[in-house]
Amino acid sequence: MGKLDLVTIVIIVANVIISYKGFGDFGFFEKYKFNVGAVQRGEKVRLFSSGFLHVDNAHLFFNMFSLYFFAEVVINLMSVSSFIIIYVGSLLMGSLVSLYFHKQEYHYSAVGASGAVMGIIYAAILLQPGMSLYIFFIPIPIPAYIFGIGYLLYSIYGMKKSLGNIGHDAHVGGAVGGYILTLILAPWLLKTNLFMIVLLAIPIVLLYVLKKAGKM
């Protein structure tokens, strides 16, 4: 079993075990989900624990399926330790951004590894911007950077319009976390992939501008 298999499987197994515990134990789910009021009362563990809970099998599968395919790029081009730092850091950044945008909504709750996974996706795109992705129901490959930018723009739009029962702000926070941590851990990208770094920063700058203008 290679390094990729080990670290990825450990994270996936942890997500499956904790999520299934939450599926069958409402008290456990309520105790460890992200909740603004509880976090503000001092239950900071929820910023982390909520990233291992999911609402159902489809939610869990989509996140773990995405993680499996992008983890290899980050581990192979960086290291296992860098992958773990980006995963955990993006998870926490996703929770912190959710807390920031919903700090007045004491009943706001969320769960899922989406922030952590978005961080890994953004890291993988920075490291290998030329790779292509196949998306469900779309028969042609999509350049990874198009997917990354498009998904983040959609998440910002989702935040603005409060679309669906989805933690769009956690997606955005995770992507920002992955972007920043990858550049800190792999500064050589500033020389080799500068254009892509600037391109991927566009949605992040847009979010900042919208927030400063009071439109978020």
| C-alpha span between 59 and 84 (Å, rounded) | 21
Query: Please, which pLDDT band fits residue 142 given cuts at 50, 70 and 90?
Result: confident
**Is pLDDT above 70 for 215?**
no
**What confidence category does residue 172 fall into, taking pLDDT thresholds of 50, 70 and 90?**
confident
Residues contacting 64, CB < 8 A, separation 6+: 12, 15, 16, 113
Contact between 94 and 69 (Cβ < 8 Å): no
pLDDT band at residue 12, thresholds of 50, 70 and 90? very high
Specify the pTM: 0.90
pLDDT at 2: 46
pLDDT of residue 79: 92
Distance of alpha carbon 58 from alpha carbon 92, whole angstroms: 23
Residue 198: pLDDT over 70: yes
| β-strand pairing of 132-133 with 142-143 | antiparallel
- 37-46 pLDDT tens trace: 999 999 999 9
Backbone angles phi, psi at 51, to 5 degrees: -75, -5
More confident residue, 31 or 170: 31
Taking 90 as the threshold, does the pLDDT of residue 138 lie above it?
no
Quick one: average pLDDT of 179-192?
Answer: 94
**Count of all residues that appear for the chain in the document:** 216
Domains of the chain as residue ranges with CATH: 3-212 (1.20.1540.10)
